[in-house]
Amino acid sequence: MLAAFAAGALNSVAGGGSFFTFPALVLAGVPALSANATSTVALWPGSVASTAGYRVELAAEPERVKWLAPVSLAGGAAGALLLLWTPVHVFEGLVPFLLLTATLVFTFGDAVRRRLSLASRGAVTAAWAVISVYGGYFGGGMGLLMLAALTLLGMADIHRMNALKSAMGVLVNGVAVAIFAAAGAVQWADAGLMVAGTVAGGYAGARLARRVEPKRVKPAVVAMGWALTAAFFYRWLAP
């Protein structure tokens, strides 16, 4: 619950909450695949709340919502099914590399995004599909990847970009949550505790976000990501 509280607060300020929930579940003994599904369930209510907060900005982008929503739903479903079809021992071997990917995105994502040039709608659609599949499969750093894709469209209003990111994240993870639940991949007792923690942390984080700039929090998220990546690589390589 404490890990979930920290995740909810972190997502409200800078993102990266899965760096708390997923490792906490794994280190508590939950199998990696089930831990990933349970972490997705735990963090989803916070995404819904965040999207509700951006309803005005979201209403200003009806065409992009109609365009990106089907891609997000299809990609999220594909990623969730791919996760369920991945043998547990194979996924456990992939975890260190997935954490490394998420950490690299958090470390360099903003710098890369600032250097991107415009791309065609077809190219962005393809990129969005890949991002959505990744989100349904694992999801760490998905928000930053979505912001990068929106930058390729020429968007500059960060509030509208965050609104689209939050809403499409709700769709990607929402369909994944439904699939994980139907497949029995969720540890509901753990998920219940974590949902309570993320909601409380999200409320506290929203209040904190008014006083603390995200750029001051991000270095701590990056440090946490590299530490966890190193720990999981050690755990994977240890005899």
Residue range 135-177, pLDDT digits in tens: 999 877 788 788 888 888 888 787 788 889 888 989 999 999 9
pLDDT band at 210 (very low <50, low <70, confident <90, very high): low
Cβ neighbors of 175 (< 8 A, separation 6 or more) are 73, 76, 77, 80, 136
In whole angstroms, give the CA distance from residue 224 to residue 12.
Answer: 17
pLDDT of 32 > 80? The answer is yes
Give me the pLDDT at residue 150, please: 86
pLDDT band for 239, please (50, 70, 90 cuts): low
Position 212 pLDDT exceeds 70: no
pTM for this structure? 0.84
Q: Name the residue with higher pLDDT: 6 or 15.
A: 6
Q: Which two tokens mark 175?
A: 């369909």
Measured torsion, CA atoms of residues 119, 63, 43, 83, in degrees rounded to the nearest 10 = -60
- Per-residue model confidence (pLDDT) at position 224: 80
pLDDT of 11:
75
